[in-house]
Amino acid sequence: MSNESIQGRFAGKVAIVTGGVSGIGAKITERLVAEGASVVVADINAELIASAAETFGDRVWGRRTDVTDEADFCALVAETVERFGTLDTLFNVAGGSRAGTITDISFEDWDFTVRLNLYSAFNGTRLAARQFLAEGKAGSIVNIASLNSLVPMHFGVGYTASKAGAVMLTKQAALELGEHGIRVNAVSPGLVATPLTKSLTDIPGVQAAYDERIPLRRAAAPEEIAAAALFLASDDASYISGDNLVVDGAWQTTGYPDLRPFMS
């Protein structure tokens, strides 16, 4: 595929990217603009939203949005269509976690993590699908899950359970929406070098413990996850739906390191 055809894959398209101003989401936004799309970034960080809009101009519009709140997400979709006239694709990227084990995690931390990772994906998938159906179009949805949807890790009970739920939500939506031409896929990254993971990998010895388990011996760059996400959203993946694309440097072949010695 030529560079010119890649740059034009999303020409005239309108996309929403939740968590679209930092980490993986920011690189998805950047890549979409480069490939011709107009992008609505949804995040809780108003300062970063303003910065993204200033960087990209009229092609990017931002809205402070609580993606765990159905009414707020509904307003996001409605305002996107009001501003750009349509919606073609949604990237559910917003996510995070509060650490804990089954026996010691607080209900509040469990609820926060599940709502941020699973409720937000449900809100986005349902509301985008409703918009596609209202327009009679074959839209595309990409949910950013995690290798933890397949592989458990210590201190990650809320995160692993919610990301596994997001993958099954993806498959369920693909089953239900396929007859309308709507495609729904997930990307499950391994370790990615983002501001969210830096607080963990900066702990002495942690990055080395990860690198020892990852056959490619490094974390992914956010750009590498963005490339996979855009592929699934594009017409290049026109017959792919219900898939969970693992982008992990072959990490799932070895399993997670035991980080308990670093957390004591």
Q: pLDDT tens-digit profile of 22-52?
A: 999 999 999 999 999 999 999 999 888 998 8
pLDDT per residue as tens digits for the range 159-173: 999 999 999 999 999
In a domain, 260, yes or no: no
In a domain, 200, yes or no: no
Known active-site residue 210: no
In a domain, 259, yes or no: no
Measuring CA to CA, how many Å separate 98 from each of 67, 90, 155, 157, 187? 17, 25, 9, 9, 21
In a domain, 255, yes or no: no
Long-range contacts of 98-104 (CB under 8 A, 24+ apart): 98/158, 99/155, 99/156, 100/155, 100/157, 100/158, 101/154, 101/155, 101/157, 102/157
> What pTM was computed for the model?
0.93
DSSP 119: I
- List the domain range (segments joined by +) for residue 43: 3-194+221-250
Separation CA 260–CA 241 (nearest Å): 37
Rg (alpha carbons) of the chain, rounded to whole number: 18
Identify which of 96, 104, 87 has the alpha carbon closest to the alpha carbon of residue 139.
Answer: 87
pLDDT per residue as tens digits for the range 45-92: 988 899 888 888 889 999 999 999 999 999 999 999 999 999 999 999
pLDDT band at 196 (very low <50, low <70, confident <90, very high): confident
In a domain, 234, yes or no: yes
In a domain, 210, yes or no: no
In a domain, 216, yes or no: no
Which of 159, 210, 239, 256 is catalytic? The answer is 159
Question: How many structural domains are present in the chain?
Answer: 1
**The domain spanning residue 136 has which CATH number?**
3.40.50.720
In a domain, 138, yes or no: yes
